[in-house]
Chain A
């Protein structure tokens, strides 16, 4: 091992360390509290974005017209209203000191009378997202993928720069990278068409048919249609059609799509 051969990797390591350390003492604090639990459930809450609400087993983003992402059974949370806005609730299943499952809810109230649960209470969005994104960047199992959704729900925190790193990290499992790319596509869509502008908006027939065409285009094999979808996402007159193109590009896991998301989000 010579100094010369160490130089470049060391520099890269420093960058990574700096990133991780800025992602930070807070997260380490949360991680340390979680790691004190050897087995059982750990739960905590943090503030969500304004356009998010939860009910039963699903979470809705961007008002009533937006899609739902189904989560697991709400075995931890009780709901007494259709669209419950606050807070984001996370439940971590821990076995042998390791997080093996992560469940995300929005709103409602914790079920009571459940034993074996360590409640960490409310944490800052910064602390929560730092912890979750470190988990996504390091866990090689399903937890890495599961950690991405709640990070995207946090209020007033920009998570996409770190999602880009995960999306491009060849060492991450493909399911985690795909999840990161999907949410980057969502973030890019939100950038060109903010959720608050979409309420009560009625889709035109022309827009509906064009969105069907975007979907049909996205089904072309071997990335054949990625350049065409990128062109639509950049230039189409209709912002909702552009957004549909971004959505389907987010499903493609194509590096050209990631570059486009970066171009839009930066």
Chain B
């Protein structure tokens, strides 16, 4: 029997057990003081990270926070518990726990300001960062309901605490509700610590739950270091990964505008066979909104070796992007495929420039293809342009 125990598995068990070991007695002290309140609000404060400040209903982080160009603003709830007298109010972190039947129901987080004077609130006062974060992580790891997820954010604001490891452990814990794990992944992605990237990578590669994988992909795309993008690229490339998640990776790769990103997506398109993923690449390229990406889409439209559906999608997104009506009109005249013509007519109908309407009227009047004329007329009927009624009357009565 002993021979069958896997040492690596044993180590894993020990790690998990370490995470489940009851937190330190000081944190238990806070928990006891909080849970002594059956119903009502309990508030406490602890030291905040230096680069954080609060104002009204927001919390700002980053080196430029005082100029209000902080790198991130996390909107918290309205400051019904805290009064602010200046724009960027530094520490402490203020936490308000709403208790219901002896359990935390909601947790609100503020930074700076001062408490509003209110009756019926139990104020625990200032506590050590370690005690506060131990308590909050215990809530996140054990409680159900919204409070468990809401307990994570204040942990990330605490001074001199690296929250990466506990958030990683929480994110990996499949016994916890998905929304709590999702919160842990999100806040992990917001940490400056570059180790968070490899943790997110590990979550993505080991989770069997697509929702968690989806959140890890988002987290990798959001990490400030940009180190998540190479991971997303290799994830998108691999046929071994679920197609849906590969599509999500491509989506987030497309949200980062860069020449390098465009080149990568173009190359990926030629390497991937799945139409579903190619569709995602076409969309991602359309989000680049550059001259080069638009030209790539138009080249795809003109390439008769490409599947029709891909060409239609490329045309749609080129039309939604900045492709000029003149260019599209000139392509229309060279099109010999009915479906592509229909799609182009639709694209014209979705543009609000005068030139697009002119082209639709030209098609309705002069195109030798009856179906094209009919389609153009249909879309003219949907237009708000005042010239349309006169044009249609003229067509009917000529």
Contact = CB atoms under 8 A, between A and B. Distances in A.
Interface of A: 205, 208-210, 212-221, 224-225, 228, 231-232, 235-236, 241, 245
A213 B396 contact: yes
A221 B373 CA distance: 21
Contacts of A241: 396
A220 B377 contact: no
B377 A209 contact: yes
B382 to A, nearest CB: 6
B389 A209 contact: no
Contacts of A205: 370
A232 B381 contact: no
B374 A208 contact: yes
A34 B147 CA distance: 66
Nearest to A217: B392
Contacts of A218: 381
Contact of B396 (A219, A220, A221, A232): A232
B380 interface: yes
A219 B382 contact: yes
Given A205-B370, A221-B384, A236-B396, A213 B389 contact: no
Interface string B383-398: 0100011001101110
A219 B381 contact: yes
Contact of A217 (B370, B384, B389): B389
Given A224-B389, A228-B389, A216 B370 contact: no
Contacts of A235: 397
Most buried by A among B373, B380, B392, B395: B392
Interface in B344-398: 364, 370, 373-374, 377-378, 380-382, 384, 388-389, 392-393, 395-397
Contact of B395 (A213, A220, A224): A213
A-side interface mostly? helix
A225 B383 CA distance: 13
B384 A209 contact: no
A247 to B, nearest CB: 14
A209 B373 contact: yes
23 contacts: A209-B377, A209-B395, A210-B395, A210-B396, A212-B373, A212-B377, A213-B364, A213-B392, A213-B395, A215-B381, A216-B382, A216-B388, A216-B392, A217-B389, A217-B392, A219-B381, A228-B392, A228-B393, A232-B393, A235-B397, A236-B396, A236-B397, A245-B396
A192 to B, nearest CB: 16
Interface residues of B, number: 17
Q: Which 8 A-B pairs have the closest CB atoms?
A: A216-B381, A219-B381, A212-B374, A216-B377, A217-B392, A228-B393, A213-B395, A212-B377
Contacts of A214: 392, 396
Interface in B316-354: none
Nearest to B393: A228
A209 B388 contact: no
Nearest to A210: B396
Contacts of A219: 381-382
B352 to A, nearest CB: 16
A235 to B, nearest CB: 7
Contacts of A220: 381, 388-389
Contact of B374 (A209, A217, A224, A231): A209
Contacts of A228: 389, 392-393
Interface string B246-278: 000000000000000000000000000000000
A123 B377 CA distance: 48
Contacts of A232: 393, 396-397
Contacts of A216: 377-378, 380-382, 388, 392
Given A212-B373, A221-B384, A228-B393, 11 more contacts: A209-B377, A212-B374, A212-B378, A216-B378, A216-B381, A217-B389, A217-B393, A219-B382, A228-B389, A228-B392, A231-B393
Nearest to B388: A220
A213 B370 contact: no
A233 to B, nearest CB: 10
Most buried by B among A212, A235, A236: A212
Interface string B212-242: 0000000000000000000000000000000
A221 B384 CA distance: 8
B389 A225 contact: yes
Contacts of B380: 216
Contacts of A212: 373-374, 377-378
A217 B396 contact: yes
A208 B370 contact: yes
A227 to B, nearest CB: 9
A29 B393 CA distance: 51
A215 B377 CA distance: 9
A235 B396 CA distance: 11
A166 B334 CA distance: 54
B270 to A, nearest CB: 41
Nearest to B384: A221
A213 B364 CA distance: 9
Nearest to A232: B396
Contacts of B392: 213-214, 216-217, 225, 228
Most buried by B among A216, A217, A235: A216
Contacts of B382: 216, 219
A216 B357 CA distance: 14
B377 to A, nearest CB: 4
Nearest to B390: A228
Contacts of B364: 213
A228 to B, nearest CB: 4
B356 to A, nearest CB: 16
A213 to B, nearest CB: 5
A212 B382 CA distance: 13
Contacts of A217: 381, 389, 392-393, 396
